[in-house]
A and B are shown apart, each in its own frame.
Chain A
Amino acid sequence: DQQVKQNSPSLSVQEGRISILNCDYTNSMFDYFLWYKKYPAEGPTFLISISSIKDKNEDGRFTVFLNKSAKHLSLHIVPSQPGDSAVYFCAARGNRDDKIIFGKGTRLHILP
């Protein structure tokens, strides 16, 4: 039972353009959402997060949007850079919950 879904296994984007990674969730008890970036042979690295009381959080080139009614969030990267090529995991956490629930990831390729 996949509570956090990333339906696109991979995405290719031209360098300099906007990358949009999508994520859907099913559990309305989630109140904190995170994006992690992972390079091969390394552990996930925290990128950006958003609380369920907000609909947008921005950090430099990265912006996360949350649509609670649709149970959907997205990560925007603009402009996309070669170093952004990695696997991106959407993740969620419940209030007073310790575990993070991860999606299966989307592999982002930034094309020169």
Chain B
Amino acid sequence: NAGVMQNPRHLVRRRGQEARLRCSPMKGHSHVYWYRQLPEEGLKFMVYLQKENIIDESGMPKERFSAEFPKEGPSILRIQQVVRGDSAAYFCASSPSGTSGEEQYFGPGTRLTVT
């Protein structure tokens, strides 16, 4: 998947714990997008970030979810006090400049299971 790295690939958390998902974009890409895929569903946009800025978080749940993309290091999607409904595959994508016609390259995803 074109060099986008996500870790961990699988994450198991008990209800009430915190989940941290990491995404390293492709080299040279400064735009990161997070998507969530529930079972039997398509991918749903969550948030779009550039370095140190959240550009569009219209798809993020209002509570418990947050995202950051610091100047140094990977982008982090953080889910506090996880519930069973948070179980899903979380995909990160990156692009060079974020323009409309530009392809987004996806990572392999993190599969979160909440027990």
Interface residue ranges, A against B (CB under 8 Å):
4, 6, 31-32, 34, 36, 41-46, 49, 51, 89, 93-105
Where the two chains meet, the residues of B that have a C-beta atom closer than 8 Å to any C-beta of A are: 1-2, 4, 6, 31, 33, 35, 40-45, 48, 55-56, 58-59, 91, 93, 98, 100-101, 103-109
Q: Is the CB of A41 within 8 A of B108?
A: yes
Further 16 A-B residue pairs, CB within 8 A, beyond A42-B109, A98-B48: A31-B100, A41-B108, A43-B4, A43-B91, A43-B93, A44-B43, A44-B91, A44-B106, A89-B42, A98-B55, A99-B59, A100-B104, A101-B45, A102-B44, A103-B42, A104-B42
- A94-B100 in contact (CB<8A): yes
The 5 closest A-B pairs by CB, nearest first: A43-B106, A102-B42, A99-B45, A104-B42, A102-B43
CB within 8 A of A96: which of B45, B100, B105? B100
| CA–CA, A45 and B93, complex, Å | 10
Partner of B103, one of A49, A51, A101, A102: A49
A42-B108, A44-B106, A89-B43 known; A95 vs B91 contact (CB < 8 Å): no
